[in-house]
Structure 1
């Protein structure tokens, strides 16, 4: 493990105190407490919808072609029908953004990857960016990543951020043997180990403070929505059999996903390396020059060749 000192000012040694809940959050907490006693199933359904919301307000982002990109079709997925492609002669690197973000958050990786000869692809996940909707599920997110892998046909590197890391590992685990074997490098940035840990932190956060009866009903509701238990979405389980080299990059004081999550990944995956940053938090880690240099070095060391798979091959 290597510490990467950020050129940005270091964060304080203790995470900042969370802001006091506003009047809306206080009213919601009171409503959930009452609902937990009188109608826990209804309260859980409302809370599950809040947990699945991918936009704080407004609708889809207006389509704007990223500089230097062209679109590519994503077949077999009703949520996401196209992505962005920066063409090159080498194998493809797929960028997968996190929950509540969009493909533009990963744009800083495009230029250095192109300089190495890679082709780079990205897309907006269901109910993110230009994709329609305001809320989604991990099942739909994973399906979109899988459809992009299948449509591109030669994805050999995947770089995921936050919940996009879970979606990436799960999509590779579910891919056809041919497409799964093609993936030679995985990079997981600020990754939670599982959706369960994310849900528990959210439910118990300063802003939510959900009663246990309501949180338990969220699990029930998400089982219906996803078709699998929340516990299914777990990198340590889905990625346990993978022997592909994995680079985990995590900030020591990430306020969204604690460093202990990265340390759990270090213990549970076969071929994994952890690089720790200081002062970059959960989102700025994507734009830090030392992080981009680290990742391009890790990917470039693979010396991958452009072995083209047939797109859509099962």
Structure 2
């Protein structure tokens, strides 16, 4: 059940027409042909290769050059080998944790820091495994979720989480897997451009024009990812992991998002208990993070009137 029957009118900026699909380059064409051949001759091998490609978080190169975000200090993230520290903008209020999406890093969420500090919140972020300054070029949803959970536990006073894209799945899953004290501490949850599940992401990725993987290869991807994650791909599903949550949820989604269709947000409306959907127009999948109306919408939703003060301090390195 939801607390509203329809979303608010879209928050509009300059409308954008859907871009025409780019033509496949030689490399992509060869990869597509290779997957087709692999599906006939060696689907298990092709599935392993494709699963590794799906888990890649960077197009090339390793970790990015470390730069301390302006006004931040580091805080220690204990008990996680992938991510050892994050960034903290200290303040007197409870903590908002910002969780970036796949293939991005904590800098993508930096636009939320200033308005949240102005409300009195403390703000924290980190680079997920194999993202930003964290080592590695590929990761799994399990490792992403564990990193979010470790950050929540280390900060110890997280009352709001703002997740973007696949970071939204990681955020909901981390709350679902957290101990009762840390899970119940979360009073507001914001999901921006969120897919419902990792399965829907994989299906779109494996069947788009750049891939069009044979069914035999797709089946092997699911098998490979289950081995890598320790759980089936279907486990990472907001509509299941978040179904019992009472925490108020704000879903913000652009009606023309080319990466995650609006239908995903509409599915979340049907599956979460206390959810509100706000649509934007013309902001796509990434620009939605920097739009002033979106920042204002989120700060109104998580305003401090419903939150409780805390004196708990995270560990600093």
TM-score (norm 2): 0.96
3-state SS in 1 of match to 2:23? coil
1:114 corresponds to = 117
Q: Displacement, 1:308?
A: 4.6
Q: Is residue 245 of structure 1 aligned with residue 248 of structure 2?
A: yes
Distance 2:221 2:167 in 1: 21
1:234 corresponds to = 237
3-state SS in 1 of match to 2:302? helix
Q: Displacement, 1:310?
A: 7.8
1:44 corresponds to = 47
3-state SS in 2 of match to 1:151? helix
Q: Is residue 5 of structure 1 aligned with residue 44 of structure 2?
A: no
Call closer, same or farther: CA 1:302–1:187 in 2, change over 3 Å: farther
TM-score (norm 1): 0.96
Distance 2:76 2:214 in 1: 44
1:140 corresponds to = 143
Q: Is residue 256 of structure 1 aligned with residue 264 of structure 2?
A: no
3-state SS in 2 of match to 1:248? strand
Taking only aligned residues, the RMSD between alpha carbons, in angstroms, comes to 1.2
Q: Displacement, 1:162?
A: 0.1
* Matched residue count: 309
CA deviation map 1:159-196 (0-9, x unaligned): 00000000000000000100000000000000000000
Distance 1:125 1:306 in 2: 28
1:131 corresponds to = 134
Q: Displacement, 1:21?
A: 1.1
Q: Displacement, 1:17?
A: 2.3
Contact 1:157 1:184 in 2 (8 A): yes
Call closer, same or farther: CA 1:162–1:213 in 2, change over 3 Å: same
Contact 2:75 2:314 in 1 (8 A): no
2:220 corresponds to = 217
Q: Displacement, 1:6?
A: 3.3
Q: Displacement, 1:270?
A: 0.1
Contact 1:99 1:163 in 2 (8 A): yes
3-state SS in 2 of match to 1:240? coil
Contact 2:169 2:237 in 1 (8 A): yes
Distance 2:71 2:133 in 1: 18
Q: Displacement, 1:305?
A: 1.9
- Equivalent positions of 1:81-96 (< 5 A) are 81-96=84-99
Q: Displacement, 1:229?
A: 0.1
1:208 corresponds to = 211
CA deviation map 1:72-102 (0-9, x unaligned): 0000000000000000000000000000000
Contact 1:150 1:311 in 2 (8 A): no
2:81 corresponds to = 78
Contact 2:119 2:304 in 1 (8 A): no
Contact 2:63 2:136 in 1 (8 A): yes
Q: Displacement, 1:26?
A: 0.5
Q: Which runs of no fewer than 5 residues in structure 2 stay unpaired?
A: 1-6
Distance 2:43 2:197 in 1: 25
Contact 1:77 1:144 in 2 (8 A): yes
CA deviation map 1:275-312 (0-9, x unaligned): 00000000000000000000000000643122356869
